[in-house]
Structure formats: structure tokens, C-alpha cells
Structure 1
Amino acid sequence: MAENAGVSDTSDGSFITPNYRRYALGLLTAVYTVNYVDRQILSILLEPIKIELSLSDTQLGLLFTTFGIFYATLGLPIAMLADRTNRRNVITAAMTIFSGMTVACGFVTSFWQLMLARILVGVGEAGSSPPSHSMIADMYEPKSRATALATFSLGVNLGIFAGFIIGGYVVQWYDWRTAFFVVGLPGLVLAVLVRITLREPPRGHSEGRVEDSDKEVAPTIFDVLRFLLAQPSFRHIAAGATLVSFVGYGAVAWLPAFLIRSHGMEVGDIGLALALIIGISGGLGTYGAGLLADRLGQGDVRWYMWVVAIAGFAAFPFGFSVYLVDNLAIALALFVVPAAAGSLYLGPSLAMTQGLAPLKMRAAASALLLFILNIIGLGLGPQAVGIVSDLLEPTYGVESLRYALLVMTPFGLWGAVHFYLAARTLGADLERAQLAPAA
């Protein structure tokens, strides 16, 4: 069948059996895992790259900033394309680009070459998540959507787990260039599997709201912005996610360097420790939050946001204390709690964003949320830590990074407040979205 204008492979969605849904969700989660491995591998490699290429902390932070800017800004136009055309093909092309450019990172010989390669990784990754969110929403009905999107979001934790394990040991046994090759090549194989086995679901299938794609006019980016930003709950979700990701991206990017400088850990040991903490406790938090929100949300939809807010308030004192203790074992033990809470906002936030958007705005709605949180969280979080660390270095020396990370932590508490505020208007905003035209 034709694959333009959003035409599905099977218009009635009869192929979406329970087994197929599980397979598709698993495959998209694998895509997101590879996406996150390629994104986060740089964190564990910062120190050897800094030494070989003679870079400052500000330059290292700039690698994350430039990645974040292109990743965030290109997500919106690519999502608009995904709302009009075959989402599987968009994901396939995106995977090919970001995996290929990750491999290219292993060949660079200067800061500028590395920055260009990382920018192109960001360009590719911009096209992966929004179409995936939209496809999952079309396969899973609202009452199980947060769990499905939380499962998809496990790619964050699995990706960090794999990135730290692979990166930590490969750089210890070989070098940082080999680490880029090892994590980049599997994505090219997975892109072929996506193209061959994943099928395009009818839009709105999970809610019985399938529209005639040929007759409906696709919304413009201004339509999407106008509709979503008019909803108080979306504004608070976006603000909360942005602040939490600002802290999270900064911490994950710089924790390996912090553990090397302040606690004298070896790179391989850091990779194993952070992989276990973020991968296991973070994964349990991410999946558990989606499952809990779906269960409690059946009685009161506000629980989708309350779950996230409560976790943020509870995790703050633990996250703050990580940078105050000198004992390595205690610091790692304290980090378990913020690691569990760090990405648990994803499932409920993405599910509610999909619910707050009309059918043909769903990929764009996810892209808008990702744009807001990534332009600040990913684009500025690691960079802010690097700049503050350089500014504090004359006073605190090697411990400057410890205090740079410490001063960023309270932004997560501010984010929890926004999730609490989002709950107040969530029910009314969801009802308004259900009454909106499909396009």
C-alpha cells in the first residue's frame, strides 16, 4: 500500500493482536535503548576524551549543549512529518543516521570534528521518539498507556546501563574510540529489523477514533502550539519535566567525572556501579511509576501527576546528600533513590501528553514536550555544570565539580512542584482534548 499522507499498512488495524502489540512495544523499546546508549556513551568517556584532545570542562559541556539544541529543535519538524506520513519509515531513517554518526565519533581527531559528529547524532535521534510515542498510543488504550509508555521509557535505564557497562570496560581494555564503534554498529542492524517487521497502526485505533487520513487537513505547528500551550496542565507538565531533566542530564553526564575526581574510582568500576544503580533502580522506578499511575489513575486521574510529584519531593534530600559525603559507599547508596526517581516522570507525562492531544497532533505533542525539556534539560544541564565547575575551580580545585553538581540539585524540587500543580486541571484538560476535532 502507499505509505504517504499517513496511510497505514493495514487500514482496519486487524494485525494489532496482543502478541503483535507486545512485539512492537519491545522493538520500539529496543530502538529507544540503542538511542540512549548512543546519547549517553559520551558521559563515561569524558575523562579520556578530555585528556587526549586537551579539552576544558566548558568544551565538554558544549558537546552536550550542541547535541541538545539540534535534537530538540529538529524534533518538532520531524514529528510534523511523522504526523503526516509513515512513522515506521521515519524511525528507520532516524536510526540509520544516529547509529552511523555514533560510529563516526570514533574517527575524530579534534574538538570541532567531535562536536559535528555529536550534532549529527542529535539530528538522527530527533526523529526517533515522537513517532514511537504516537504509534504506542495508537496500539494501547488510555487505561494502559502510561504502563506501555513507561515500558518504552525503560530504554533510558537500559541504555544508560548498557552505555556505562560497555563504555566503562571497553575504554579500560581498549580506548574511547573503540567504545563508539561497539555501541554504534548494532543500531544499523536494528534499523533494518524495524523496516522489515514493524507495521504502521491506524491513527486512533486504540480509542476507536480512526479517521479518514485523506479527508482531514493536517494541523500546522502553530495549531499544535496554540492547542497545547492553552492547557494549564500541559504547561506544568512541560515545566516539571524540564526542571527534572535539567538536573538529571547534568548529573548523568558528570557523575563519572565526579566519581573519578572526588572519589578516585576507576572508569570500569564506575561503569559497573552506575549501570547497576541507574539501570536497575531507575528501571524499577520508571516502570513502577507507570504501572502505579495507571492503577491509581482509574479512580482519580490526578494520580498520574501526584505519583511523580511525591517521588520528586521524597528523592530530593537523598540527591542533595550524594555530593555532601566523602565516603564512596555512602554516596553510591544515597544515589539509589534519586536514580529511581530520575526518569519515572516519563511514563505518566508522555501518557498524559498523548491524552491531551488530538489524534493528528500526537507525534508533534510529544516532540513539543521533548523540545521544551531537552532544549533546557539536555541543552543547558550538562553545560551549566561544566561552566560552574570551571568557575569554581580556582577556589575548590578538583572538588569544583562536586559543588557544581550540588547547586543544580534544588531545581528538581522545583520540578516536583509543577507536577503537583499539573494535577489541578488535568481532568478538565483531558476532557477538552477528547472533544476536539481529530486533526
Structure 2
Amino acid sequence: MASVAEDQTYPSPIAAWGAVAILFTLSIVSMLDRNLLSLLVPEIKADLGISEVEAGTLMGVAYALFYALGALPLGWAMDRYSRPKVIWFGVTLWSLGTVACGFARSFWPFFAARAVVGSGEAAIIPGTYSLLPDMFPRHKLGFAMSIFSMSSKVGAGASLALGGLLTALIVPAAAFGMPLIGEMKGWQLIFIIAGVPGLLLALTIFLVRDPRRARGTTAQSAASFADYGRFVWANRRFIFSHHIAIMPLVALIFGFYAWLPSFYQRVHGLNPAELGGWLGLAISTGPVLALPIHGLVTDRWFRSGRSDAHLRYLIGSLLVSLPFAVGAFVVASPYVSFVMIGIFFFAASSYLSLPTVTLQLVLPHDLRGKSAAVVLMMNGIIGAGGGPMVVAALSEKLGGPEKVGQSLMICAAVALLSTAFLYLFALKPLRTMLARHAA
């Protein structure tokens, strides 16, 4: 199925893995800037005078809508211009947006700052999905993508752990007098401190040389979104199932990121400093251990002749994760709950890399950035944007903020079963596309 000897000349392993390391680091920074808000919800609600649903809007729609909208031009740019330059622009933009969150004194300025964060962070995924297939052979792409995908969980865990540390050092509700600025609350200072390092780290992407783009099957080297639309329609049985299937799961993951801290605060009585380290460890440890395993096993299975290995493995891992995602909100001990969340992310973390690898195996080179942009747009608006709001709305429907655990449990069951079921429809057309690609 996948031959070690391939026509394309790839960059050296040192250059390829160096690029993975830099993209990994930038992705961690993006997760810190994205998730820090979830630890500071009580103080922000009190200072800005906003409701539970408005807080969900800041965590969801304000970020995700512009993440989705930013993905389209950035994905187009990835297929046409220097990928390191486009990524640098995105990192710089989202870092400035994080700093701007620290200066927000009402809902709408905060909304605008979160929109800037989302727009900039839309550069990382299209950039990575465009670069890595030009740096690694097909039979090694699953492992490389899995290693990069660890960054989102390391970043999610680190954002909670670092956020918890910052809340211990800088009391979020306290007032501080700042030269030239005036009085600022502790949570505002935390955002500023979190945003500044990204402005410097953005420059590290220029250590990555933009590799020669692999040859594809489209008619021209600078394909348009119309070309992508024609490709999608010609392969609609696979593409529609693939693109739609991931959305419920993305909504669940963003709902978890947004509301798990509130669950442990409200239901188990933990403060941000206590829960930050434990929840960060639970979110990050499982994927860090599991993602290399997911990548190695599926690459080996793919080489053995199972063309749909990545997607088939993904379906199984999601079903295995289901009882732990539900059980975490039933057990009485918060520490047992942390363990179950960790096991859930261990099993389900395959979603971070395997759908992408599957798609890259069948996409022409000049449609990769655009495809990533379209997937991000769909997941951003419907998944990431809707996830935190759905959890908040369901909590209120069930009886109020203290019902957030029940809301998360219901969302977990529905999302995991829906995603696994929808991916089943993609298996047969995927095998057909890969057979045609090999021929």
C-alpha cells in the first residue's frame, strides 16, 4: 500500500522534525492564549457584569466565529505564499489579541479582543497541514501528525496549570495600580503576561525553510476555492461524511475546555489554583502518552494493506472513550473524576491527528490549505462556537449553573456516538479514493 521508496525528495529528518518542534511550540502558545479565559470566568463575569450565556459567548462564538472566518483567507494564503510568513502573521496577531483581552473593561471590547485571538490562531492548523505532508513520506505522516497533535493537549494542560499558577501569584479579583495605565484587575494582568511571549516566539517560524510543494492532481499550481469545490463534489460521499462527522466531537471538546473548570469549582468546590494543576494533568497526560501510539499503530496498519486504517482505528477509540467521558461526571471524588477525564482524552485523542492524516492521503497538494480552512470554518462556527454555548444553555435548561456536570455528560454521550456513527459512512468511499489514488 504505502512504499518506503517514493518519488518525492523530502527534507532531511532533522529539518522535518525541527519544523514539527517549532509548530508544536507555537501550538502550545495558542492553547494557552485560547483557554486561559476558562479559569477566570467568575472574576470576569463579576467585573464586566455579564451572564452565563455571555461568558459562554466569549469562550465560544467570539473566538470560534472569527477563527473560522480567518481560516479561509489564511488557508488560501498557505497554498499560494510563503507558509512561514503566513504563520508568523497569525501568531503575532493572536498574541496582540490576548494582550488586548487584558485591557477590556466591558463585554464588547472583550468580544473584539477574543475575535482577534481567533483570527490569528486560524493560521496554525492550515500551516501545519500544508507543511508536514511536504516534509514526511506518506507512510510516516501518521506518526508525525500525531506528535504535532500532542501540542494541543500539552497546551491545554499547560494553560490550565500555568493559569492556576498565575492566579496563585496574581489574585484575579485584586486591583493593581499600573503606571500610565491606571487601575487594573489581576485577571487583566494575567492576560497581558500570557500574550507578550507569543510576539517573540512568532519569530522562530523563520527557522523553518518552506519545502518544495509536492505534486498533486489538480490542473494548475495555484488552485482556487472553486477547484476545491469541484474536488469535494467529485468525492462527496467521503468528504461530506468526513467533514460533518468531526463537528459534534469538536463541540464537545471545546465545551469541556470551557466548562470543566466551572464544573470542578461549582460541584466539587475546588478553587482555580487547586483544579488548574490537576485538570491540566488530566487533559494533557493521556494524549501525550497515547498520540504516538495512535500514530505508530495506524501507520503500521496502513503499511500492511489496510487502506482505511486511520479512520477505522479512530471509530474504535471514540467508542472506548465513551464510558469514561460519562463516568467523570457521576463519581463523587473529584480526583477519580480527573483520572476518568485523563482516560477519556487518552482514548479519544486519536481525533486530533487521524482524520487529518486520512484527508491528506487523498488531497492534491494545492488544496491542503483550503481544505484545512474549510474544515476549520465548519468546526469553528458549528463546533467550537456552539459547544460552550450549548453546554451553558443546557445547564440553564436543567436547572442552573450547578447542573453543568449533567449538561457535559449528556453532550459527551451524544457527541461521541454521533461522530463514530457518521465516520462509518466514510469508510467505503475512502477505500475507493485510496485505490484510485494508488492506481
TM norm structure 1:
0.89
Q: 1:66: Cα distance to partner? A: 2.2
Q: Which residue of 1 aligns with 2:263?
A: 258
Give the 5 Å matches for 1:27-176: 27-63=22-58, 64-174=60-170, 175=172, 176=187
The answer on 1:240 being equivalent to 2:235 is no
AA matched with 1:344 = S
AA matched with 2:228 = V
Alpha-carbon distance between aligned partners in 1 of 2:146 and 2:325, rounded to the nearest angstrom? 22
Alpha-carbon distance between aligned partners in 1 of 2:169 and 2:348, rounded to the nearest angstrom? 30
Quickly say closer, same or farther: Cα 1:298–1:434, change in 2 above 3 A.
Answer: closer
Quickly say closer, same or farther: Cα 1:141–1:287, change in 2 above 3 A.
Answer: same
AA matched with 1:96 = T
Is the 8 Å Cα contact of residues 246 and 379 (structure 2) preserved in structure 1? Answer: yes
Q: 1:427: Cα distance to partner? A: 2.1
Is the 8 Å Cα contact of residues 106 and 177 (structure 1) preserved in structure 2? Answer: yes
1:268 to 260, 266, 273: 273
Is the 8 Å Cα contact of residues 285 and 342 (structure 2) preserved in structure 1? Answer: no
The answer on 1:26 being equivalent to 2:29 is no
2:428 to 407, 415, 424: 424
Is the 8 Å Cα contact of residues 61 and 386 (structure 1) preserved in structure 2? Answer: yes
Q: 1:178: Cα distance to partner? A: 2.7
Is the 8 Å Cα contact of residues 247 and 381 (structure 1) preserved in structure 2? Answer: yes
AA matched with 1:390 = E
Q: 1:276: Cα distance to partner? A: 0.7
Q: 1:217: Cα distance to partner? A: 4.8
AA matched with 1:311 = S
Percent identical pairs in the alignment equals: 29
AA matched with 1:224 = Y
In structure 1, stretches of 5+ residues that fail to align are: 1-11
Q: 1:434: Cα distance to partner? A: 6.2
Quickly say closer, same or farther: Cα 1:373–1:287, change in 2 above 3 A.
Answer: farther
2:287 to 262, 282, 285: 282
Task: Please list the CA deviations of residues 41-89 of structure 1 after superposition, one character each: whole Å capped at 9, or x if unmatched.
Answer: 2122222222222221100111111211111122122211211111111
Alpha-carbon distance between aligned partners in 2 of 1:15 and 1:306, rounded to the nearest angstrom? 28
SS at match of 2:267: helix
AA matched with 1:245 = V
Q: Which residue of 2 aligns with 1:326?
A: 332
Q: Which residue of 1 aligns with 2:210?
A: 200
Q: 1:153: Cα distance to partner? A: 1.0
Q: Which residue of 1 aligns with 2:179?
A: none
AA matched with 1:262 = V
Quickly say closer, same or farther: Cα 1:318–1:355, change in 2 above 3 A.
Answer: same
Alpha-carbon distance between aligned partners in 1 of 2:223 and 2:434, rounded to the nearest angstrom? 19
In structure 2, stretches of 5+ residues that fail to align are: 1-6, 173-186
Alignment RMSD (CA, Å): 2.1
Is the 8 Å Cα contact of residues 166 and 179 (structure 1) preserved in structure 2? Answer: no
AA matched with 2:391 = V
Which sits farther off after the overlay, 415-424 or 91-100?
A: 415-424
Is the 8 Å Cα contact of residues 90 and 128 (structure 1) preserved in structure 2? Answer: no
Alpha-carbon distance between aligned partners in 1 of 2:122 and 2:284, rounded to the nearest angstrom? 23
Alpha-carbon distance between aligned partners in 2 of 1:295 and 1:178, rounded to the nearest angstrom? 48
SS at match of 1:344: helix
Q: Which residue of 2 aligns with 1:8?
A: none
Q: Which residue of 1 aligns with 2:229?
A: 225
Alpha-carbon distance between aligned partners in 1 of 2:23 and 2:377, rounded to the nearest angstrom? 20
Alpha-carbon distance between aligned partners in 2 of 1:28 and 1:361, rounded to the nearest angstrom? 20
Q: Which residue of 2 aligns with 1:386?
A: 392
Alpha-carbon distance between aligned partners in 2 of 1:413 and 1:239, rounded to the nearest angstrom? 13
Alpha-carbon distance between aligned partners in 1 of 2:190 and 2:153, rounded to the nearest angstrom? 19
Is the 8 Å Cα contact of residues 228 and 370 (structure 2) preserved in structure 1? Answer: yes
Is the 8 Å Cα contact of residues 87 and 200 (structure 1) preserved in structure 2? Answer: yes
1:216 to 213, 216, 220: 220
Quickly say closer, same or farther: Cα 1:398–1:368, change in 2 above 3 A.
Answer: closer
Quickly say closer, same or farther: Cα 1:160–1:128, change in 2 above 3 A.
Answer: same
Q: Which residue of 1 aligns with 2:176?
A: none
Q: 1:361: Cα distance to partner? A: 0.5
Quickly say closer, same or farther: Cα 1:239–1:216, change in 2 above 3 A.
Answer: closer
1:292 to 275, 292, 297: 297
Alpha-carbon distance between aligned partners in 2 of 1:257 and 1:369, rounded to the nearest angstrom? 29
Task: Please list the CA deviations of residues 289-318 of structure 1 after superposition, one character each: whole Å capped at 9, or x if unmatched.
Answer: 222211112120222111111111111111
SS at match of 2:284: helix
SS at match of 1:263: coil
Q: Which residue of 1 aligns with 2:175?
A: none
SS at match of 1:219: coil
Alpha-carbon distance between aligned partners in 2 of 1:193 and 1:65, rounded to the nearest angstrom? 30
Is the 8 Å Cα contact of residues 216 and 364 (structure 2) preserved in structure 1? Answer: no
SS at match of 1:218: coil
Which sits farther off after the overlay, 83-92 or 402-411?
A: 402-411
AA matched with 2:410 = V
Is the 8 Å Cα contact of residues 157 and 283 (structure 2) preserved in structure 1? Answer: yes
Q: Which residue of 2 aligns with 1:345?
A: 351
Task: Please list the CA deviations of residues 129-188 of structure 1 after superposition, one character each: whole Å capped at 9, or x if unmatched.
Answer: 102211111001110111111111111111112100111121232032232123211211
